[in-house]
A and B are shown apart, each in its own frame.
Chain A
Amino acid sequence: MGCKQGVARTRVGYTGGTAPDPTYKRLGDHTESVQTDFDPAAVDYRELLELFWRSHNASRPAWSRQYMSAVFYLDEEQERLASEVKRSLEEAAGRELRTEILSASRFYLAEDYHQKYILQGDRILGQEFRRMYPEFSDFVDSPAAAKVNGYLYGCGSLEQVRTELSSLGLSAKGADHLLSRVRRHGS
Chain B
Amino acid sequence: MAPDAPTDTIRADRPLMDIAVPQSLQTACFAFG
CB atoms of B33 and A34 under 8 A apart: no
Residue with the highest number of chain A CB atoms closer than 10 Å, among B14, B16, B32: B32
B1 within 8 A of A: no
- Which segment of A38-46, A86-94, A151-159, A177-185 sits at the interface? A38-46
Query: Per a CB cutoff under 8 Å, which of B13, B16, B26 touches A37?
Result: B26
Query: Per a CB cutoff under 8 Å, which of B17, B28, B33 touches A68?
Result: B33
Interface size on A, residues (CB 8 A): 48
Query: Per a CB cutoff under 8 Å, which of A36, A70, A132 touches B31?
Result: A70
Return chain B residues, CB-CB under 8 Å to A169.
13-18
CB atoms of B31 and A38 under 8 A apart: no
CB atoms of B29 and A41 under 8 A apart: no
Are A52 and B14 also in contact (CB < 8 A) when A8-B25, A38-B25, A39-B22 are?
A: no
Return chain A residues, CB-CB under 8 Å to B25.
8-9, 37-39
Q: Smallest distance from the beta carbon of A110 to chain B beta carbons, Å?
A: 12
Q: Which residues of B pack against A, CB within 8 Å?
A: 13-18, 20-22, 24-33
Return chain B residues, CB-CB under 8 Å to A170.
15
Return chain A residues, CB-CB under 8 Å to B13.
132, 169
Q: Which residues of A pack against B, CB within 8 Å?
A: 1, 8-9, 15-16, 31-42, 45, 48, 52, 55-58, 60, 62-63, 67-72, 74, 78, 104, 107, 132, 142-144, 147, 164, 166-170
Query: Per a CB cutoff under 8 Å, which of B20, B24, B28, B32 touches A48?
Result: B28
Inter-chain CB contacts under 8 Å: number: 106
CB atoms of A167 and B29 under 8 A apart: no
Return chain B residues, CB-CB under 8 Å to A33.
29-32
Query: Per a CB cutoff under 8 Å, which of A34, A60, A168 touches B15?
Result: A168
Return chain A residues, CB-CB under 8 Å to B24.
39-41
Instruction: A31 to B32: give the CA distance in the assembly, Å.
Output: 10
CB closest chain-B residue, reference A141? B18
For the A-B complex with A9-B25, A38-B28 known, give 5 more contacts whose Cβ atoms are closer than 8 Å.
Answer: A52-B30, A69-B32, A107-B29, A144-B17, A144-B18
Instruction: A69 to B32: give the CA distance in the assembly, Å.
Output: 5
